[in-house]
Amino acid sequence: MKKTLVITGGAGFIGSHLCERFLSEGLRVICMDNFITSDKENIRHLFRNNNFKFVEHNVTKYINVAGKVDYVLHFASLASPEDYLKYPIQTLKVGSLGTHNALGLAKEKKAVFMIASTSEVYGDPLIHPQPESYWGNVNPIGVRGCYDESKRFAEAITMAYHRIHKIDTRIVRIFNTYGPRMRMHDGRVVPNFIYQVLHNKPLTVFGKGTQTRSFCYIDDLVEGIHRFLFSNINEPLNLGNPGEFSVMQLAKLVLKLTGSKNKIIFKNLPQDDPKQRQPDISKAKKLLKWEPKIPLETGLQKTVNWFKS
């Protein structure tokens, strides 16, 4: 019997790449999405695969899947600032009700459960780089609180199900990830800069551009998630690229790779925007023997080429 994997948010940026990876290894994949921020084009090529099934469903409602399920990956989320500032209540609901329903499915099927958490659980960090042991510095009532706290709640209920119901759980804290299938108007810095360059607009930098981010190419992240899922690690794990770049460095690199002469303009820093972001991936390196392989310049070039096409 083939192993069956259910992934919520499977038509999204990260979810669609995971669908591809698990299908390539012979698993049966049930992809669940309601397209609030994703795109059917991300998975259209998978419909020809007999091991792929798509279910259009809002996971804040009860999840019913017939038959045996071995893995439940809850990746449904409104992950970009543009989305969660526009849909704060939906963001909170998918992190709370959606996680509860996905955990219920895992409990019913006695399946391994993985939750896609985020580096945003660390908020605007007072510790740098951020290890999994850091509890974070989050403003629960700020404009970003709907996303940050939804993920913190998701982690809390996941650990509660692990302790009380003995569910085999994984909590992956994903740091900034980029690559093909990001939306052009995603609102995050990599697609923003690429969109602005390709449409001959000035690159918008918030603040002075000194805030740092760590950028992980999608293929590296998928490999880390794959290794984590098939491990026996129940505690949270950071996955991301520890290479730290300022937003201004990123802007100049995008200009260099595209040969563009676009201007850079500056705008006010958004409320509660983190000043630093860099994962401590010591645990992933030790426990999964994993670390990113793809340099930022290489990954950015692949991403630019995809956006152009």
162: tokens are 């692990």
Rounded-to-5 percentages of helix, strand, coil across the chain:
40, 20, 40
Tell me whether residue 161 is one of the annotated catalytic residues.
Answer: no
Cβ density class 188-198: b for 16+ within 10 Å, e for less? bbbbbbbbbbe
Calpha distance 99→64 (Å, rounded): 14
Active-site pick, 71, 84, 122, 147: 147
85: tokens are 């500032």
CA distances to 18, 42, 152, 170, 222 from 162, rounded to whole Å, are 24, 32, 15, 9, 24
Among candidate residues 54, 55, 59, 279, the one with its CA nearest the CA of residue 150: 59
Catalytic residue annotation: 147
